[in-house]
Amino acid sequence: MEFKDLVKSRRVQLGLTMEQVGRKVGVSKATVQRWESGEICNVRRDKIAKLANALQTTPAYLMGWDENEISYFSKNFEFLMRQNMVNLKIIEENTGIEFERLCSLINENDYPTTGELKIIAKYFCVNNSDMLSEPLYLYNYHKTPISNDLNQLHILINSLNEDGIKKVIEYIRDLSDKYRKND
């Protein structure tokens, strides 16, 4: 079920009106109506937390995640950081997600928003669903220093705009002429 459906079904289960939910969350009835219709799909973290409280559930439930997925997210996030030899400061610089927020996510103190999940998954070049599924380290293979370097290169290229990517390709072509392997 999607966020909009989960909000509506939980509200109806509890026998609450849109107005009552709106008052508890600090928004208008119209806003609750737009959440339930799917017109507003990017709901702020603080509103999701208040909405979950008003609906006597968890933010994870409203986001359509089960509680294990949050633990998997945290473990996978930590694993990918180690695999790619990056720290939270580097991730903050490359994703725009604040350091304190990243700490909260990795320590399982909070749930990632859908937007944060997408940004972090893209940064590590994995699918959103991979971040929430069984721990990635269970499927780990032994990486060589070269594959680690290639993964780092992939992550860095992913953070570039189109002009930056063209420059990287140009530099690699220049380097490949000079440093070509002898086959």
| Residue percentage of the chain with pLDDT more than 90 | 25
Q: What is the mean pLDDT of residues 31-42?
A: 91
- Token readout for 115 is 């937007």
User: Is a pLDDT exceeding 50 seen at residue 144?
Assistant: no
97 with 57: CB under 8 angstroms? no
The domain ranges of the chain are 3-62, 67-139, 145-178
- How sure is the predictor about 21, in pLDDT bands with cuts at 50, 70 and 90? very high
Which CATH entry fits the domain spanning 3-62: 1.10.260.40, 1.10.3720.10, 3.30.530.20, 3.30.360.10? 1.10.260.40
pLDDT attached to residue 142: 43
Q: What is the mean pLDDT of residues 63-87?
A: 80
What is the C-alpha separation between 159 and 94, in angstroms, rounded?
7
Query: Whole-structure pTM over 0.95, yes or no?
Result: no
Provide the 3-class DSSP secondary structure of residue 92.
Answer: helix
Which CATH entry fits the domain spanning 67-139: 1.10.645.10, 1.20.140.10, 2.40.33.10, 1.10.260.40? 1.10.260.40
Q: Cα dihedral sign for 57, 60, 64, 66?
A: negative
| Same fold: 3-62 with 67-139 | yes
Identify which of 71, 68, 47 has the alpha carbon closest to the alpha carbon of residue 59.
47
pLDDT attached to residue 49: 85
